[in-house]
Every structure is written in structure tokens, then in C-alpha cells.
Amino acid sequence: MRVAVLALGSRGDTQPCAALARELAGRGHEATLVASGRYAALAGSEVSFAPLGVDPMAVLESVEGQAWLGSGPIGFVRGLRAVLEPLAAKLVAEVDTACAGADLVLAPSLGAFGRHLRERYGISYLIVQFQPSEPTGEFPNPLVPLVSLGRLGNRASYAVVERLGWLVLGRMVNRLRAGVLGLGPMRGSPFAADRRDRVPVLCGVSPLVVSRPRDWPAYVHLTGYWRIAGTGGAGDLEGFLAAGPPPVFVGFGSMVPGEPERVAEEVVAGLRLAGVRGVVQGLPVATSDDILPVGEVAHDAVFARMAAVVHHGGAGTTATALAAGVPSVVCPFFSDQPFWGHRVAALGAGPPPLPIGRLSRGALSVRLRAVPKYREKSAQLGRLLRVENGVKKAVDLIERC
């Protein structure tokens, strides 16, 4: 079977897709990972790689991207089309070319690429998720920064988010369908259409972290995390790690605070108030005996050697930190990050989340000094997650569909 695995986001979205592609290739399927060119190495030797010219990190690091990220939830939704539309025609054409010969496409629901490709070529598709995004009464849509709205409100939140997303993107999507793919307009939300058609959904989240909602339909599968083991070493960190007790890792992935210098100053002061060493990624800090600034590092190789991880609460980073078995201090910016921060706290794997807008040296140091009481539960959960084989379960389901 020829399978195209479509990854449209940053490394946190791409690495799980690469894990699926590698497992498929290992079982004799012709797997192609379709992702930003900067992530080619994740494909490995057995998976074909189709590079996309749109670099998500370059978009996020641009002036427009930073303004978008800092605009808050409502501004983020409004700015989504403005950021995406200048790049969208090229992206859609590249995805179309990469997937045209596939028998099956694994694609996120955002953009409805699977549905477009099925209409154009008759290709089957499955939906991949990195958050539990199927409507349920048990918790709100992960993009809604609230713990609960009651069963009716929780379920309604999914409809609100999806309708708002289609309201923002629908016209652009239909222009691209006509101009790039030669398809007629979509009538109504693709999310609702996927549910009417009972398109199988693979949610790459562990049931140890989010229990499977009892009201999910049978075609929605909570498989466990899709992990690639051994994606790199500690590299330049080795000397620093050997020079003292395990440090605290601080890094916010593709998120850049609105005042990076101030946040960097507060982070360093917070680490020192807590009496811990720090490895700091992506913030303007100076090298010292107790602080080491770093660039991109392989989280799965580094996190297990830390005393704790301070991060933004992205789905991929949260999964890696939990599997490493060390406590997390989640500093959410927006989107699904508050959801993961609350899950970490509920699991006893870290303190209550500290929103990035409220990060101060005092608040951070208090949470870091509390880290020891979360070590036992973090370590226990990490052991369980490391033996969970979510990618095998996901590919077993793919082969049965």
C-alpha cells in the first residue's frame, strides 16, 4: 500500500507523523512523509520524503508571525487566514503533487486535505490528531482554555470552534479548491462532513494521559503516543551535564514571548532563586557556570537527564516530557497549551500551569522548589508511557481500515 503521511506543522507535529511513516515502511508499505523540508532527517532511510517549501518556523519567526502569535485567542483566529493565504496556493499544489499517487492519505483535519484529495483522485484518507478533538461532554475542546463547561457546554464548544474555523477559512479553502485543484466549492463544514462519513480518526495521545471519552464513536481511536526513539544525543550539553546536578530545561519551542529579554531575565533569576542550574533554549541568556543557552536539541535524548522541564505545553513537548518521567512546569501561551498544562497538573506530573504572561522569577521559583513532590508520579507515568506502543496500535488500525 502506498501511504502519504501529511505533516503541516512544526517538529512537534511532524515527528509523530514520521513515526507512523517509519512503522508503515517497516511493515513493507511504501510510505512518504510530506512535511517541511527542514524535517527531512526525521524520515529516516526507509521512508520517502516529499519536502514542502513552506517552513513553519520561518513563518512563526517572521514579524507577521510573531504579531500573530502574540495577538491572543481572538486575534489568532482572525490572523490565521492573513498568515496562511499568501503561502496557501503553493502549499496546496505541493501537497497535491506529493499525494497524487497514494492509496491512502493520513492528514490532519485542519485544511480538509484528505477530503480534497479523495474528491480529486478517489484516495482514501484517515484523520490524524495530536489533541483529543472529537466532540465529547467530558471536557471542552482543547482550544478552549477552560477546564469544564458542563456536559452540554463541553460538547457545544467543539461546534463553536469548528464553525469559527470554517467561517475564517472557508472562502479561502474554496478559492484554493477551484484555483489549484479544479474542484467545486464545499458546502458546509468539512468537520461535520467527516463525521457523517464516519472517517476513521487516529488520535496520537496516550489513554494514560487523557482517558478515552465514553461518548466517542467507535471510529475514533485513542492509540497512545507516536514516538521515535533515539532521535539524537545530548551533544554540546554533555560537559555541562557532567559538571553538576541535573539542571532544569527551559524552552518554549516555536513560541516567542512578546518581551523575550524580560522573560529571559525572569527565567534566569527564577532558576537561581530556586537554587538550580538551567539549560535555556531560545531565550537571550548569557553562558555562566549555572546557565547554558542552547539551540535546537533532541528533547527525547535530553529531557530524561533533567530535574524538570519548563515548557509551553505544546502537545509534542508535553508528550516527550511525560515519557521522560520528569516533572513539567507548563507556561502556556494559547491554543491547546492550557489544556495540556491542566492535564499535567491533574496527573500529578507538575504544578498548576503558569501562563507565560504571568511568568515572574518568584512564581517560577515557587514551582521549581515544589518539583520534588512531583517526581514519584512523573517517574511512574514515564515508565508506563515508555513501554506503550502507540505507533504499533495506530498502524494496526490503518492496516485494518
Q: pTM value?
A: 0.93
What mean pLDDT is predicted for residues 3-7?
98
- Cβ count near 394 (within 10 Å): 26
Which residue has better confidence, 230 or 196?
196
Q: Tell me how crowded residue 97 is: count the other CB atoms within 10 A of its CB.
A: 11
Per DSSP, the chain holds a count of helices (H) and strands (E) of 15, 12
Report the distance separating Cα 237 and Cα 250, nearest Å: 14
pLDDT at 349 over 90: yes
Q: What is the dihedral of CA 177, 178, 183, 186, to 10 degrees?
A: 60
Rg (CA), the chain: 21
268 neighbors 238 (Cβ within 8 angstroms): no
Q: What is the pLDDT of residue 199?
A: 98
249 close to 232: Cβ distance less than 8 angstroms: no
Ranked by mean pLDDT, which of 157-171, 229-243, 263-277 comes out on top? 263-277
Q: Looking at the predicted structure, is the pLDDT value of residue 125 above 90?
A: yes
Chain centroid offset of residue 111 CA: 16
Q: What pLDDT sits at residue 167? A: 87
Query: In terms of Cα–Cα distance, which of 209, 192, 248, 221 is closest to 126?
Result: 221
Amino acid at residue number 264: A
- Taking only the tens place, the pLDDT of each residue in 290-346 is 999 999 888 988 999 999 999 999 999 999 999 999 999 999 998 899 999 999 999
Sequence letter at residue 82: A
Best CA proximity match to 350, nearest among 380, 319, 371: 371
What letter does residue 334 receive in the DSSP assignment?
A: S
The C-alpha atoms of residue 249 and residue 161 are separated, in whole angstroms, by 33
Q: Average the pLDDT over each of 67-76, 154-163, 239-248 and give the range with the smallest value.
A: 67-76
C-alpha to C-alpha distance for 215 and 319, rounded to whole angstroms: 24
pLDDT score recorded for residue 78:
62
Measure the CA–CA gap between 43 and 45, rounded to whole angstroms.
Answer: 7
> 183, 33, 56, 193: which is closest to 112 by C-alpha?
193
Domains and CATH numbers, the chain: 2-226 (3.40.50.2000), 235-387 (3.40.50.2000)
Cβ–Cβ < 8 Å for 227, 19: yes
Q: Are 95 and 33 in contact (CB under 8 A)?
A: no
Residue 246 burial (CB count, 10 A): 15
If pLDDT is split at 50, 70 and 90, which confidence band does 69 have? low
Contact 163, 192 (CB under 8 A): no
- What amino acid occupies position 364? L
Give residue 59's pLDDT band: very low, low, confident or very high (50, 70, 90).
Answer: low
Q: Tell which residue, 174, 169, 32, has the closest CA to residue 116.
A: 174
Kindly provide the b/e burial profile for residues 344-379, where b requires at least 16 CB atoms within 10 angstroms of the residue's own CB.
Answer: bbebebbbebbbbeebebebbbebbebbeebeeebe
Q: Alpha-carbon distance 256 to 229, whole Å? A: 27
For the cut 80, the answer to whether the pLDDT of residue 222 exceeds it is: yes
